[in-house]
Amino acid sequence: MKLFDTSLTRLQESLDVRLVEHNVLAGNIANSDTPGYKPKELDFSQAMAAAQQAANAGTLAATDQRHMGVNGASADGTGISRATSAATTLVRDGGGTSPSIDGNQVDLDRTMAGLAENSLQYGASARAAGKKLAILRYVVSDGGG
């Protein structure tokens, strides 16, 4: 019997991918005044598929905590999860809008809306993971609270 079902793992991967998407959008906002800047984008569906594939790539048995990452963390000691690494590789140049006078293609309104949506999705995933852990905590304590 597995202690954690796949839904908790998927929620963790979702949080990792949402973090990467947040960083991409924040980078676009930070460069909204940079001449010639083309915005970056991340396709969430593709990133989640890559994160799931990375998570299913193989399970290693840790014989020593210093040898490899634990709980999906990388083996290089950076603490970056496999999902985050997989999502980061999928960041691409986005289409943006028609260039402004200085060649910048960031649509600030669209980017801010995307950031707000991503923040809401991140919060929803975090709450769902919290509920799953609360249920697990309840079960482990024999329903005693």
Note the pLDDT tens digit of each residue in 26-56: 999 999 999 999 999 999 999 999 988 887 7
On the question of pLDDT at 110 being above 90, the answer is yes
* Number of domains present in the structure of the chain: 1
Domain assignment present for residue 12? The answer is no
What 3-state class would DSSP assign to 81?
A: strand
Which residue range is the domain that position 78 belongs to? 17-54+68-140
Residue type, 8: L
Note the pLDDT of residue 62. Answer: 58
- Cα(51)–Cα(81) distance, integer angstroms: 9
Note the pLDDT of residue 38. Answer: 94
Say what percent of the chain tops pLDDT 70: 81
CA distances from 144 to 137, 138, 139, 140, 141 (A): 10, 7, 9, 9, 6
The more confident residue out of 63 and 98 is: 98
Note the pLDDT of residue 99. Answer: 82
Q: Residue 4 has what DSSP assignment?
A: S
Mean pLDDT of 108-119: 96
Domain assignment present for residue 2? The answer is no
On the question of pLDDT at 70 being above 50, the answer is no
Domain assignment present for residue 41? The answer is yes
pLDDT, the chain, mean: 84
Domain assignment present for residue 40? The answer is yes
Note the pLDDT of residue 1. Answer: 42
Note the pLDDT of residue 58. Answer: 60
Alpha helices per DSSP H over the chain = 6-30, 44-55, 82-88, 108-140
Domain assignment present for residue 119? The answer is yes
